[in-house]
Structure 1
């Protein structure tokens, strides 16, 4: 019995020592992990900790951190969490994270992850498995972390794909790995719609390259991150639509084209807005009024009405002051007063020698009115013959039907306007639209300034058209700013969903704007097209042949009116003779 008591005392003492050593090692592990988490917080601040797994050292340490903690023991949240970028992810083992919610995965793609290795798993296999899920900010600690003081951090663009970091060294644990992609391929495809992206062959390298204010953005980004562009040449006539589909299917990383906010699409496939523009009609400049119609233009109804009223008043005054009597006052004498007509046309008429002062004053008023009227109409006539006014243009969407030319639009853009229930587009009658299935075909007609149609165009594309028309003798089209389907359209670059370097690309967009490169590319877009032979450096306005003198056709309207008035006068003269003879016989 005494030996049994002695044996139990020895076993209890050894167990106490073992528990003391175990508790001491656990305490040291917790202190080491806590210091590591505090160092990670100093490198980049986080305010939330997300822990995957049942029970490990992270659960104990999280109680000592002054941050919010979310425990996911099942490995998946099962619903969409609104996690921000300031969340640190802790996993008790590489297998504990089994996140299945798509939106949560997208939000947590770039977040930093710290993995606790309780088993002997090689770091390269862990880094590889996370890289397949496009998660690259990975660091690992083993259970011997207390003695080794070593952290394994994944490094995607090197061999081996991880780095061994000692806490004694002042090196960052997490780095921005995509700042140097070591020549990794970026898959892209261009729409080759000038001036966004234009294909040309480099004279030195004999390689096919791109140029344009969208192509330059993609090209400079690849140079910045030391990547290689893999350009796929698509021959489909629905090339823009095909690029969108390839990006959604993750067959392309970046699409060298622009996607408008009019198209209903998920935001996962669009970048930060690259260009803010408007979407309006590009209408033909109204033709000049022909010379033979100038006479009708200067005869404004209001002015003619006022002149007629003044004529009647002066005729009445002239009849009264001629004899200071209302005896000759009649409608016929007022409307057919030859003295008043000749006076207002600046011609002479008989004037009595012993005229009274009232008559002299009335005649002076007639002379003054004749000077004003003849000078006004002569000035109008000479000005309009020098530069005739334009015919009435399109002032509203409802006026499009009254115009002889229809609106040519691509099918893809019309579908976008219909899906967004654009109220202005609904005002246009379907018979006044010409829908083109092929986007390049419609844009080719627009680039050639085809006069058979009017077109719809974005403000950024119009800037190059305006630059080109500066070379024309007369502008062909104008940008109807009062006829816009939308005055605020965001044009974005299509990006593959879950693109790991999306943030770098969007930062690159903002930097190009900050340095003024986007404005520079757009202002030189027309000259880039000329240099590549995609736009002619000539006048496409087809100006009319200048005639130094008036032709018979230019005064045809006046001659016709004069002939009609002369025939009417002869008819009245004959009628007057006939009436007098009939009275004489009676």
Structure 2
């Protein structure tokens, strides 16, 4: 029995050796062909990582010869987020071995090239259809007879047939960019029709509806570049902007013809590369002009008035001292109500002594020079302010909004977004100063009509069209408060669905438009496009006041009241002075009589 067991073991060993010899005669040919193929693929597009799905197969034996970093996924799916570079070639031992379900890994490896080893009974067309359902298009297949046939099968998604046999004897590329020509395939687009980003109009030449705007032009020319058609869905009357984002996340549309801020986004799965860099600030009504009757108070600054009073006192003291070169005539009344100094500063004539000293002449020169400066300065201010009165105080801080009783219009969606991001500037605004709107179209209508009842939130790129429109106004209605910004660095991107297979081409197209200056040109033409499409009227919405050829009595009422009060004070002072002199005369006469009788 022992010899029988030994004999059986020897037979089994010989049989295994013969099978290994047969496999050794067959496999080296396939290995050599695959090795040359991988080296050729590396020359077409460099890769430094091999990702192999499936258990032990011919691809595993090539890794030792290529000396490239290799990741083996025998289970068909990873359990981690793919964190390697994009220079990866994916190899699958069979059609069913690639069972990747990790979401982030699927996104990062969507564009990578795939090489699948298929059996003789599997049709290449079915493989292309299988991967096309997962929106993976860079697919190539090899069979066991690679060395004999010298052919490799590659998927071509927009061609007929969808399979192309690429000969290894020729220099044709195995993988191509399938989306350079989409042969009229539709792109599902949804437009918010918010001017000036996207605007709809009827082309009179062909009677077709077309889109224009710096966002619409970007997508329209992209579709033209890829030879695709646009399947546009419009945003309904009662549909909000959030519905666009929801449809993007549910993969119902490919690209949204709108922009979304991604300042505090946790991921950019449904966002393109930033399209516009802008600020997000307040657009506030220009303060009203001050009334004409307050112009006299405005031109007199407190500091300047103090300097004039100080100069008046100094000149009064110098005049008193220089008259007799002593302080003999110094008194409070002579200093505060100095007739010569007061007349001189007001630019009026004053009595000039017959033989003044050199010091007194010098003081008179200073007095005359000061009067010329003061009267010229205030007359210039007065005429300028009567022609163009200055505005009232501007809002300088978020806390000052409530003090100025300025209401801020805002949508509930934007309130939730600012609260979610915990915006510190927004928290400073008194909630009583906010006017909330549920529908953003109502809010947009108020802002576009320049309703001065509210202030509005606006991006800087949208403000440029408002500023251009206000150039046609006699007086600007709103100003862009650059000191009242919620964020000075806001990235606006184009929403798109997660697994968009031509995302890289769209972002490349976007950068090229910026590079040649087309985006800046489109934005500069936004207002004129809106006027041409009758979206914005080319008229003065500032409602200028009728021209008044002259001032009214009401305009100078304040200064007339002040003049009347001064005249009353002067009369009172004159009366008191007269009374004081008559009483003094009586007192001196009484003293003289009493003193004379006493002496006698």
> Do they fold alike, i.e. is TM over 0.5?
yes
Counterpart residue number, 2:232: 231
Change (3 A) 1:567 1:128: same
Deviations 1:407-426 (A, max 9, x none): 22222223222222222222
Shift of 1:297: 1.3
Counterpart residue number, 1:93: 94
Structure 2 residue 465 is matched with structure 1 residue 464? yes
Shift of 1:375: 2.1
Counterpart residue number, 2:563: 562
Aligned pairs for 1:38-187 (under 5 A) are 38-187=39-188
| Alignment partners' CA distance in 2, 1:54 and 1:18 | 21
Shift of 1:578: 5.2
| Alignment partners' CA distance in 2, 1:27 and 1:472 | 83
SS in 2 for 1:267: coil
| Alignment partners' CA distance in 2, 1:14 and 1:351 | 141
Shift of 1:207: 2.8
**TM-score of the superposition, structure 1-length normalised?**
0.93
Aligned pairs for 1:327-346 (under 5 A) are 327-346=328-347
Shift of 1:318: 2.0
Counterpart residue number, 1:486: 487
Contact 1:116 1:141 in 2 (8 A): yes
Shift of 1:337: 1.9
Counterpart residue number, 1:4: none
Shift of 1:101: 1.3
Contact 1:190 1:197 in 2 (8 A): yes
Deviations 1:333-366 (A, max 9, x none): 2112223212222222334434444433333332
* Worse-matched range after superposition: 184-193 or 474-483: 474-483
Contact 2:405 2:433 in 1 (8 A): no
SS in 1 for 2:200: strand
Shift of 1:576: 4.3
| Alignment partners' CA distance in 1, 2:62 and 2:261 | 48
Counterpart residue number, 1:307: 308
SS in 1 for 2:66: coil
Change (3 A) 1:381 1:130: same
SS in 1 for 2:141: strand
Structure 2 residue 15 is matched with structure 1 residue 32? no
Q: Gaps spanning 5+ residues in structure 2: where?
A: 1-9, 591-600
Counterpart residue number, 2:388: 387
Counterpart residue number, 1:6: none
**TM-score of the superposition, structure 2-length normalised?**
0.91
Aligned pairs for 1:296-375 (under 5 A) are 296-375=297-376
SS in 1 for 2:320: helix
Shift of 1:74: 1.1
| Alignment partners' CA distance in 2, 1:316 and 1:14 | 132
| Alignment partners' CA distance in 1, 2:293 and 2:436 | 38
Contact 2:193 2:234 in 1 (8 A): no
Shift of 1:264: 3.5
Structure 2 residue 272 is matched with structure 1 residue 271? yes
Q: Gaps spanning 5+ residues in structure 1: where?
A: 1-8
Aligned pairs for 1:184-203 (under 5 A) are 184-203=185-204
Deviations 1:203-229 (A, max 9, x none): 233332211110111111111111111
| Alignment partners' CA distance in 2, 1:355 and 1:141 | 119
| Alignment partners' CA distance in 2, 1:293 and 1:137 | 76
| Alignment partners' CA distance in 1, 2:580 and 2:82 | 104
Contact 1:238 1:439 in 2 (8 A): no
